[in-house]
Chains A and B, each alone.
Chain A
Amino acid sequence: MSALGRPLVALMSGLLFGLGLIISGMVNPAKVVGFLDLAGNWDPSLILVMGGGVTVTTATFWLVLRRQRPLFETKFYLPTKADLDGRLLSGAALFGIGWGLAGLCPGPALTGLATLEPSVVLFVGAMLIGMVLQHLTAE
């Protein structure tokens, strides 16, 4: 049951996530930059994407986490760190700069990869290199 359920849940979750990014328009970097450009022709759509997503998760996560365990795993795998540190904040800052430069974060980049648009392929290649570099330089 779990051997079948686990991969199926992962695939369905990815599929829904991707559809959400496409339907909301967030797969298009120009639309994301339109949100980040407060002084330009501002497009507040991203607020509603985040708002819709956060409303669903906030309304349900606490209820899910009252369960002893998830359906197909023996336990919940949740982040354990609780305190703010330099890595968290400098990482978020670097990510924010990159996000502002191209208008892409990891989800839309991977979802858009299937369009085979050359600039997305370039971005994802560089993103993978960045992830590996971080892994190699981490203590």
Chain B
Amino acid sequence: MENFTPLSALAGGVLIGLSAVIMLVGNGRIAGISGILGGALTSRGDERLWRALFLAGLLLATVCYSLVAPAPIIVDIQSTPVFTAVAGLLVGFGTRLGSGCTSGHGICGIARFSKRSFAATATFMLFGFITVYVTRHVLEVQL
């Protein structure tokens, strides 16, 4: 467990929680990324504007952090392009079909004691564990 980074994980998690609180108290919305992104693709006008600004905030975070942080942001995708593309398709299709992802169901839904969000979070966690176990330890394939 030498990769375990408890302090930065907790600090980052608190920031994510605060982000969701600001969105709820200010705009009355759930800070769920897949819902905000999906809605940005299909909505118009004001509805599209706030969604686009939220998404711009995500990108801006990377830009701001890079300007002040001493170390570069590490983004290491270990899967091959084909599996990366398949993964993207599944994540896009699945999060819209299932009405949410790690943020909307995981961070926000659980705080609302939503039965659907508890079930969705347990399901995507379980399938995430199974997928990694099967690919890395059963099939031992290079994705």
Contacts and interface: CB of A to CB of B under 8 A. Distances in A.
Contact of A107 (B74, B96, B102, B105): B102
Q: How large is the interface on B (under 10, 10 to 19, 20 to 34, 35 or more residues)?
A: 35 or more
Contacts of A104: 77, 87-88, 91
B132 A25 contact: no
Contacts of A94: 90, 93-94, 97-98, 127
Interface string A45-70: 11111111111111011001101011
B contact face: mostly helix, strand, loop, or mixed: helix
A22 B65 contact: yes
B12 A22 contact: yes
Contact of B59 (A81, A114, A122, A129): A114
A81 B119 CA distance: 13
Interface in A1-35: 5-7, 9-31, 33-34
A37 B132 contact: yes
Contact of A91 (B10, B86, B98, B110): B98
B15 A23 contact: yes
A54 B84 contact: no
Nearest to B85: A126
Given A81-B116, A100-B132, A101-B131, A24 B58 contact: no
Given A19-B15, A53-B107, A107-B103, A102 B62 contact: no
6 contacts: A13-B20, A19-B15, A25-B8, A105-B91, A115-B75, A131-B93
